[in-house]
Chain A
Amino acid sequence: KNQVEQSPQSLIILEGKNCTLQCNYTVSPFSNLRWYKQDTGRGPVSLTIMTFSENTKSNGRYTATLDADTKQSSLHITASQLSDSASYICVVSDRGSTLGRLYFGRGTQLTVWP
């Protein structure tokens, strides 16, 4: 069964600290993996995309990694800011159709305290 599991479910950190969010998936075949940020009361916004051949990709203070062999991805946030408080959602796309079906994780709720 194709699934996307994220951990931890929630996380509280102090402003300025780093953190790492995890995403494990069983989706096969694999096309790509995206991390989205969803602020409270808003729709998700794409942070980064990882394809099969990519190991690391950065977007400002966000760095995503992908290990396609172990089917794991992580999102590392450096020097956290209050505005990083949000839900971070991992989404995996397969190649089972021309459009690529999407599998969503439940998200990690990150809270950054001053």
Chain B
Amino acid sequence: EADIYQTPRYLVIGTGKKITLECSQTMGHDKMYWYQQDPGMELHLIHYSYGVNSTEKGDLSSESTVSRIRTEHFPLTLESARPSHTSQYLCASSEYQEKLFFGSGTQLSVL
């Protein structure tokens, strides 16, 4: 059973608010990822990290930022939320052969 946790599960906020989506894993994985998923669409990589103090932007242009100060923690921050940011955000980690362990996701709605 994978041990990767995301909070909050659901978030409804107003435009212009700053938010941080939390992601933590207890498996000691070096690699961590943030994906965005809209209904019926494929997952899009928005950020990833190879380890502490290592972060990279993914394929999808995003106005979010991430940090990796500790191995187990990989938060994603939106400085100013907009309705276009409404989506499901999935955090994942992996150790080898790119087998991803996903959290349960955060469903974000920006009004």
Contact = CB atoms under 8 A, between A and B. Distances in A.
Contacts of A4: 42
A104 interface: yes
Given A106-B40, A106-B41, A43 B98 contact: no
A41 B90 CA distance: 11
Question: Interface majority SS on A: helix, strand, loop or mixed?
Answer: strand
A78 interface: no
A31 B97 CA distance: 9
Given A43-B92, A104-B43, A99 B100 contact: no
B99 A34 contact: yes
Best-surrounded residue of A34, A102, A106 (most CB of chain B within 10 A): A102
A41 B105 contact: yes
A32 B99 CA distance: 10
Contacts of B7: none
A84 B109 CA distance: 28
B69 to A, nearest CB: 21
Interface residues of B, number: 21
Interface stretch (A14-22, A44-52, A56-64): A44-52
A89 B102 CA distance: 13
B104 interface: yes
A107 B98 CA distance: 18
B105 A49 contact: no
Nearest to A90: B42
A93 interface: yes
Contacts of B101: 46
B105 A99 contact: no
A8 interface: no
Contacts of B92: 43
Interface of A: 4, 9, 31-32, 34, 36, 41-46, 49, 89, 91, 93, 99-100, 102, 104-107, 109
Given A91-B100, A105-B42, 5 more contacts: A32-B97, A43-B92, A44-B90, A99-B50, A106-B40
- The 7 closest A-B CB pairs, nearest first, are A43-B102, A104-B42, A104-B43, A106-B42, A93-B98, A100-B98, A44-B102
